[in-house]
Structure 1
Amino acid sequence: MQIQDLPFSDPGVPDARSGPRFLWWLFRNQLSGQLTSLAWGLLHFASVASLPFCVGVAVQAAVDRSGDRLALAGGLMALACAGNAVGDTFLHRAAVTNWITAAARVQQLLARKAATLGAALTRRVAAGEVVAVSTGDVEKIGWFVEALSRFTAAAVTVVLVCVGLVVYQPALGVIVAVGLPVLAIAVLPLLPRATRRADVQREKAGRATELASDTVAGLRVLRGIGGEELFLDRYRRASQEVRHAAVRSARMWSLIAAIQVLLPGLLLITVVCYGVHLAREGRIAVGELVTVYSSVMVLTYPLRHFEEIAMAYSFSRPSAKRAASVLSLERATDTSGSRAAEAPAGDLYDPATGLLAPAGLFTAVVCGDPDAAGRLAERLGGHASEPGTSVLLGGVPLDELPLDSARRAVLVQDKDPVLLSGTLRELLDVPASGAVDPRDALDAARCGDVLAALVQGSLDADDPMDARITERGRSLSGGQRQRLALARSLVTDPEVLVLDEPTSAVDSHTEARVARGVRELRANRTTVVFTSSPLLLDRADRVVFLHGDTVAAVGGHRELVRTEPRYRAVVTRETEEEVLAADALRGDDVLHRLEEIEETA
């Protein structure tokens, strides 16, 4: 796989059972690239390791005044230098390719998982954690994957040089062969502590990233209540905690690096002292001493890769663990499905609560607990929290449908929908049946004032469809953003449309017009609205009241206001005691007020 071939047509199915298993899976999927890197690494390190032998031959040739051997040493040195240059160049090329392709594979896997889970992703994993995994963690994972082949080449070179020195000069070679493994494993006792400190640093950085994203997202509201300084102080404290953790981690890695410099120096001193003693006794030649000395000097270079692989693994292991935790999340609706790809039609039924939304009707759902309503809305979209609790559409469990079929069948608009930056035309350019014109959807959502605001805020757009929407629609009010999101949902024209509090930020007069527009546009289509607004409830064909996690009452809005005190308490924002204490005329007064609001709207 080359960089120009990215992105992958299929990044594969990762082994997300643990961080190390995920790293091993990445390595296996890059086996050809790793072998290429290993081959160039062996050429590079072997060329570097052969230079001491060439120098030793040249020194001994000069001592013996042998021109032929001196010329041979020069030729071997030129060959070693050429091999070093070629090997280093292509090793770097192969290593960078492995790094980038590994990072790209992880990013594709994360993007695919985000697309599969949809809005359920941020319900299970904090948004800041997702950002940290898809940015910094991806880089660390790629670092370890590409460093592994270079480390393998360095380790093979060290072993070969040690064996060669033992054969070439046993007296000094044994010292080197025993000393180098000690150098390699000397830092192992420090690695667990260094890893723990790196984990703490990464954890604090993730929390700081999450706090920063939350602060930026809510900056407009924070300024409105004068709370931006409070949150900025919190971020400053979190940032300082990250800095302190980074310094503590850096101290440990500095100690490891110092040991990697100190111990080879002690080995070199030992070799030189003993070698000089042997040379004085005439047991070794000067050229042999220079060869061994130069070999020990050169071996400090491949030994650095032992430190690098330890650092890479220490940083990448927690990163791989976090990436694996995201990639292991599963959507209840299977991506392939065991049913036919055609989306079913019919009644929408939730066996967990007993909720039934008949096909072609406008069903309103009233739930006293907003969190329970959100969980139910998520389940209606095919995200069953437990096996066996899948919602049925036309008698077919949604978790048996392919993902694309399930999404065509049921669309859930969250309570806080997100608007992406771009033009209004791009915002409404979504997968749709084609039966609903975007302008009809905008009219049904009563977006006339929104279009006027977009044109007024644009410098060069005469057509509202070409007006640009800022990031997350921050230039618009909450009600305007809600109505644009509602229009986008209406354009898709799914078989079943589930709306969670679609008008919570809209004034009562606009809300009544929106309720009428949605009902007209969605005529003969199944629509489920989670709301406690009397204006929306009065427009519904059928109202379902949930008390706790079960259906408590079903009927028309006005009927339930008169007959169900718990329902009336939720709709009128009164306590159940107040409702039970009121007389029967109380319900008539409520209905009268609703009629007045509708007539005014």
Structure 2
Amino acid sequence: MRDLPEPVGDPDSRSATRFLLWLARGQVRGLVAATVFGVTTMVATALVPAAIGQAIDAGLDARDPGALMAWTGVVLALGAVHTATAMLRHRVVARNYLVGAFATVILTVRKIVQLGNTLPKRLASGEVLSIGVSDADRIGDAMVITGRGVGALVGLIVAGGMLISTVPEAGWAAVAAVPLAAFGIGRLLRPLHSRQQDQRAAQADLATRASDIVAGLRALRGIGGEDVFLDRYRAQSQATMRAGIRVAVVDALLVGYKALLPGLLVALVVWVGARQAISGAITPGELVAAYGYTAYLISPFGTLTAMAGKWAKAHVAAERLVRLLNIEPEITDMSGAGPVHVWGPSPQRIVDVESGLTLAPGRFTAVTATEPADAAAIAHRIGRLSDDGRVLYGEQKITDLPLGVLRKTIIVTTPEDRLFSGTLREQLDPHAGVRETASRSRDAAIMDAIDVASASNVVNELPAGLDSYLHAAGQELSGGQLQRLLLARALITEVPVLVLVEPTTAVDAHTEAEIASRLGPARAGKTTMVVTSSPIVLSRADHVVMVSAGRVVAEGTHAELLKTHPEYARTVARDGQ
């Protein structure tokens, strides 16, 4: 089995047309091969009526068995060529489809990774899902139809030329019908393109609504909102269906047009040819050949019509992808602007200038705030999930640190984090099966992190333990179970700086106390910051920081702040109820 090539270079995202041409240039060998096989297949088929006509005139009409056998052999040879090249063409175009669709998916995933936290602010989840699934399929279809379309065009020219030489009047009528057909198709493609855009937008909205419902199903059941969202989903589904019907109307006209015009040509050629055969202007074999040429024209004309429709759909899909590719990330890598110091595994002092927060290296610090959003904003700045403020790591601005190094140095977990589909081992340790370290020692490290997160019972309850398969977003897990596994995943990384935003909101008090007591010792020698308002976690921290109106207003231990800072006491008492 051969691996599919990955797209090379930066895609041309100036327009949908330029992107499709860039993609085609990237697999030009496959497209040329498909075109060669397509032309050979269509020309071999176009020549069959001529061979049959000769078999009739030189063999049957002349009563010459040798000529009949010879021309029958030619027909069989043309059929063999058609069959062989059609098989080769199918193999090549199948690969062209996979390369085109695969490239679309890879570019989409790369852009998603690059955008990171920017993506959900700029594009709905359903839109991204549609690009990676339906749009990839349509772009792949465009790569498939191209070789066949060129072959159909050449076959159309060959058959048309032979028809003109056999029955000139009908042949020239067929040639005159080509621009008429092109005009009719062009008139239909414009509304088709517009309606496909509307359908594509409706499908994206429907996918977004479905993903939102699935993500918030537990909450919807808790507040009794399932029926409301179901009604909204049903209404959007109906709107998507109506958009699909509008596309189908134009598609049906295209299909009817594809059948009508060749049918009229067949009727014309048979009428003119029969009259000429009766008058003796052409032979019976030429009449049969003329009919065969005209009947053959239905196939290439249909292929060209299909190519126009598929490229129109691919253009709509490419417009969506180009829109995604042109989104600029809010976080840019500015490490090339000056000298960069890459530190070792020992954490450095971190200072968030905007709030005045200082994280001492190797200390377990808890941060609480009168407004939880203020503490979360600090966490985002420290992890560089946003560039709203100035953060120092050691003596250097965090924006000078290469993003690749930063992501291996500081990890921020939030309540919005999710598990992907796959085995639990793969979810907790992304390098499982990749590391050269013995799997037994890796499993031990995973189980240690699970124990710290008080999630051992979660793993034990799964049917195959670490090898149990989880569906996307951990749908089979409760909120508390999922939160503990996400905490374990963060602990396994063993990064120098770990920032946890509200890591225990979905667990009971007993489990929270276990996590709080184990977290500090497990992270000894590394910097840990926990954004929380839980008195249980705050009491276990080495250092507690109080934030009000976005600024640090008090620091100390939990016990000290309870005695000396009334606002802290009120905040903790309020959130601890």
TM-score bucket of the superposed structures, by smaller chain:
0.7 to 0.9
CA distance in 1, matches of 2:211, 2:8: 29
Distance 1:254 1:474, change over 3 A: closer
**Partner residue in 2 for 1:521:** 522
Q: Deviations over 1:544-595 (max 9, x none)?
A: 6262xx5364534778778888777765559xxxxxxxxxxxxxxxxxxx9x
Q: Displacement, 1:492?
A: 1.2
Who is 1:305 aligned against?
Answer: 303
**Is the counterpart of residue 441 in structure 1 residue 449 in structure 2?**
yes
Question: Given the alignment of the two structures, is residue 136 of structure 1 paired with residue 134 of structure 2, yes or no?
Answer: yes
Give 3-state SS (helix, strand or coil) of 2:551's partner: strand
Please report how far the alpha carbon of residue 151 of structure 1 lies from its aligned counterpart in structure 2 after TM superposition. 0.9
Q: What is the identity, as a one-letter code, of the residue corresponding to 1:506?
A: V
On the 8 A contact 1:420/1:472 being kept in 2, the answer is yes
Q: Counterpart of 1:322?
A: 320
Deviations 1:191-228 (A, max 9, x none): 12122222222222222222223333333343344433
1:491: which partner in 2? Answer: 492
Q: Secondary structure at the match of 2:507?
A: coil
The alpha-carbon distance between structure 1 residues 383 and 222, as it changes in their structure 2 partners (threshold 3 A), is closer
TM-score normalised over the length of structure 2: 0.83
Structure-to-structure mapping, 1:570-585, within 5 angstroms: 573=574
Q: What's the CA shift string for 1:430-482, capped at 9, x where partnerless?
A: 4599999445434443x1xx423543x34576xxx677767644555433432
Instruction: State the shift of 1:411 in Å.
Output: 0.6
Per the alignment, in what secondary structure is the counterpart of residue 529 of structure 2?
Answer: strand
> 1:99: Cα distance to partner?
0.9
1:476-555 alignment runs, 5 A limit: 476-508=477-509, 510-537=511-538, 539=541, 541=543, 543=545, 545=547, 547=549, 551=551, 553=553, 555=555
**Residues 358 and 124 (structure 1 numbering): CA distance in 2 closer, same or farther, change over 3 Å?**
farther
Counterpart Cα distance in 1 of 2:194 and 2:217: 34
Residue 137 to residue 343, structure 1, CA distance change in 2 (3 Å):
farther
| Deviating more after overlay: 417-426 vs 241-250 | 417-426
Task: Give the structure 1 partner of residue 361 of structure 2.
Answer: 359
Q: In structure 2, do the counterparts of structure 1 residues 211 and 280 end up closer, same or farther at CA, with 3 Å as the change threshold?
A: same
Q: Please say if residues 349 and 393 of structure 2, whose CA atoms lie closer than 8 Å, have aligned partners that are also in contact.
A: yes
TM-score normalized by structure 1?
0.80
Q: CA deviation at 1:37?
A: 0.6
Distance of 1:540 and 1:353 partners within structure 2 = 20
Of 39, 57, 65, 2:62 maps to 65
CA distance in 2, matches of 1:517, 1:218: 31
CA drift at 1:424: 5.5
Q: Secondary structure at the match of 1:418?
A: coil
User: What does 1:99-118 align with in structure 2 at a 5 Å threshold?
Assistant: 99-118=97-116
Partner AA of 1:131 in structure 2: L
Q: 1:145 to 1:340 in 2, by over 3 A?
A: farther
Aligned length, in residue pairs: 562
Distance 2:194 2:475 in 1: 40
Deviation digits for residues 140-163 of structure 1, max 9, x if unmatched? 211111111211221222234334
How far did 1:165 drift? 4.2
Alpha-carbon distance between aligned partners in 1 of 2:328 and 2:390, rounded to the nearest angstrom: 14
Paired residue secondary structure (1:307): helix
Task: Give the gaps of 5 or more residues in structure 2.
Answer: none
Structure 2 equivalent of residue 251 of structure 1: 249
Describe how 1:98-497 pairs up with structure 2 within 5 A.
Answer: 98-118=96-116, 121-166=119-164, 170-279=168-277, 283-331=281-329, 338=336, 342-343=342-343, 346-350=348-352, 356-366=358-368, 374=376, 377-384=379-386, 391-396=391-396, 398=398, 401-420=401-420, 425-430=425-430, 437-445=445-453, 447=454, 450-455=455-460, 457-458=461-462, 472-474=473-475, 476-497=477-498
In the alignment, the residues of structure 2 paired with residue 8 and residue 371 of structure 1 have an alpha-carbon distance, to the nearest angstrom, of 45
Amino acid at match of 2:209: L
Cα distance per residue 1:43-98 (max 9 Å; x no partner):
10001111222233334335862636545533432222122111211111111111
CA RMSD in angstroms comes to: 3.8
CA shift, 1:40, in A, is 0.5
Structure 1 CA distance for aligned equivalents of residues 410 and 68 of structure 2? 82
- Structure 2: distance between partners of 1:409 and 1:401: 10
**Partner letter of residue 313 of structure 1?**
W
Deviation string 1:402-450 (CA, Å, 9 cap, x unpaired) is 55422211111122332456665554434599999445434443x1xx4
Taking the aligned partners of 1:34 and 1:94, their CA distance within structure 2 comes to 8
Q: Contact (CA 8 Å) 2:7, 2:26: kept in 1 or not?
A: no
Does residue 5 of the first structure (1) align with residue 2 of the second (2)? yes
Q: Which moved further from structure 2: 134-143 or 29-38?
A: 134-143
Report what 1:30 is aligned to: 27
Amino acid aligned to 2:263: G
Kept in 2, the 8 Å contact 1:184–1:303? The answer is no
Conservation of the 8 A alpha-carbon contact between 1:334 and 1:402 = no
| Sequence identity percentage | 33
CA contact (8 A) 1:542 1:555 kept: yes
Cα separation, 1, equivalents of 2:234 and 2:547: 46
Letter in 2 for 1:79: A
Question: Structure 2 counterpart of 1:417, which letter?
Answer: D
Instruction: State how far apart, in whole Å, the 2-side matches of 1:75 and 1:141 are.
Output: 41
Aligned mates of 2:372, 2:303 — CA distance in 1: 55
Give a deviation string over 1:150-185, Cα, whole Å, max 9, x none: 112212222343345445654443222221232233
Deviation sequence 1:525-560 (CA, Å, 0-9, x none): 22233334455455352526262xx53645347787
> Whole-Å Cα distance in 2 between the matches of residues 127 and 13 of structure 1?
24
Contact kept, 8 Å, 1:332 with 1:399, in 2: the verdict is no
Q: 1:273 to 1:230 in 2, by over 3 A?
A: same
Matches within 5 A, 1:86-105: 86-105=84-103
- C-alpha contact 2:117 2:385 (8 A) present in aligned 1: no
Q: 5+ residue gaps in structure 1?
A: 575-593
Q: Is the 8 A contact 1:360 1:526 kept in 2?
A: yes
Q: What is the CA deviation profile of residues 87-139 of structure 1, one whole-angstrom value per residue up to 9, with x for unaligned ones?
A: 21111111111112222222233334444445654454333333322222221
Residues in 1 aligned to 2:165 and 2:335: alpha-carbon distance in whole angstroms: 64
**Could you tell me how far 1:376 is from its partner in structure 2?**
5.0
Q: Secondary structure at the match of 2:499?
A: strand
Hey, what does 1:46 align to over in structure 2? 43
Partner of 1:187: helix, strand, or coil? helix
Q: Distance in 1 between matches of 2:16 and 2:370?
A: 42
Q: Which moved more, 1:360-369 or 1:290-299?
A: 360-369
On the 8 A contact 2:501/2:532 being kept in 1, the answer is yes
Deviations 1:329-377 (A, max 9, x none): 4556668964779456533345666655343344444455555655554
Provide the secondary structure at the position in 1 that maps to 2:545. Answer: strand
Distance of 1:484 and 1:360 partners within structure 2: 24
Quote the offset at 1:251 in angstroms: 1.9
Distance 1:147 1:562, change over 3 A: farther
The residue type equivalent to 1:382 in the other structure is: R
Contact 2:379-2:412 within 8 A present in 1 as well: yes
Q: 1:371 to 1:299 in 2, by over 3 A?
A: farther
Offset of 1:273 from its aligned partner? 3.4
Contact 2:545–2:554 at 8 Å: present in 1 too? Answer: yes
